[in-house]
Structure 1
């Protein structure tokens, strides 16, 4: 797999609706130089939805190619991965290939936040800086809020895409009785709102690249969306 030029990688993004605005807000509200949102079905499949510049787009692609980096760890561990100085010796030991390529791009700091609704991770919000530096406590709090907003922005954008799906696309799940029944079951089981329960169902379907109706039927059969 070739990385291509930064401009080629950036052009491959799929900017949609609220996700684009969310990335722009990250750059405006935080001391970072770029932001990107990537969705993942697993550690081996991913789609870059939007990147604010070619550098962060290339940074995302590098991690997918070399199989290491803060975004992969944030998705796998389901926790923010904050690296304020890529020149630190321990960083090169943790991600040797990624660190070399990132420094070559002029990236000095990377902050990755998992996107998830409930217990289901399905993407990553990635931020970078051209100079080393930590996020101050209030900046980290803002970043966490933006990551939560990004998760809902992505789901809203994809839900909108599903509602306007063209002929031949899979439209199962819309109006099926199993979906509202499963939504109510998840809400009751975890003590959350119906809106939050439906969001968890959609996130699970999205993360597994499966129809919503299939996830709903599994829940009705006794499966859980969350790890015990």
Structure 2
């Protein structure tokens, strides 16, 4: 029953991690929630994300559970730590005893801080989408690692699943925003074109001339006054544009 319950919680976590195709998405709220799932599923003390962009800028996000502890341990890795090792290699950093790492001189600043927080074990997995590395997910536990324990390997696999799904969610939202922005730009361009065509038709009918003649008047009027053509067209549609000035521009355009 316990295993079934854990599988259900994992499925729920993965579904929530992938649910990013929404206008209300905020990474600052999304990543801590994903880290909370990691803490719950792995019975960890805390967990957190370290994301690194192409300019090497680092952003941190921690689980709600022991948030300050997780942020402190992530910040302590500026000189080296499991997150940076996992990000650099693109591979998981397997569960390691903090005391053993400290004795070996591995990550001195990080291990000292971890021991101060009574962390016994840590591991990290890369946050990646195909070949693109986004950062790493770090898990902190109070217990010590057990050599050759199958549970340790499963925990790393579960964390990697969550990290992979988070990477997918982040990339999907980026694509979603890009598509929405492009769609908005295309809709704006189409609406602008419709207004210009409507204004051309109104002037052509009013002046009993061809549409091209009316368009030249609109364009010259807009250029001379340094106004967007779409704005001038809307003024014509709203019947607030100076018709005499437009006619004068039309005569100048005709020579």
TM-score normalised by length of structure 2: 0.52
Change (3 A) 1:42 1:60: farther
Would you say the 8 A contact 1:113–1:144 is kept in 2?
yes
- In the alignment, is the contact (CA less than 8 A) between 1:16 and 1:50 conserved in 2? no
1:37 and 2:52 matched: no
1:102 matched to 2:118: no
Pair 1:16 & 2:32 matched: no
Partner of 2:125: 113
Tell me how far 1:39 sits from its aligned partner: 1.1
Q: Would you identify which runs of 4 or more consecutive aligned residues in structure 1 move more than 6 Å?
A: 172-176
Bigger-Rg structure (1/2):
2
More helix by share: 2
Residues 104 and 50 (structure 1 numbering): CA distance in 2 closer, same or farther, change over 3 Å? closer
Task: Please give the secondary structure, in 1, of the residue aligned with 2:59.
Answer: strand
Equivalent residues of 1:43, 1:76 under 8 A apart: no
Distance 1:159 1:130, change over 3 A: farther
- Structure 1: tracts of 5 or more residues without a match: 1-13, 165-170, 177-228
Could you tell me which residue of structure 2 aligns to residue 151 of structure 1?
167
SS in structure 1 at match of 2:143: coil
Does the CA-based 8 Å contact 2:86-2:124 persist in structure 1?
A: yes
Higher relative contact order (CA 8 A, sep 6+): 1
Give the drift of 1:158.
4.5
What runs of 5+ residues in structure 2 fail to find an aligned partner? 1-26, 187-255
**Normalised TM-score (structure 1):** 0.58
Secondary structure at the aligned position of 1:93 is classed as: coil
Out of 58, 62, 73, the position equivalent to 1:59 is 73
Coordinate RMSD, CA, aligned = 3.0
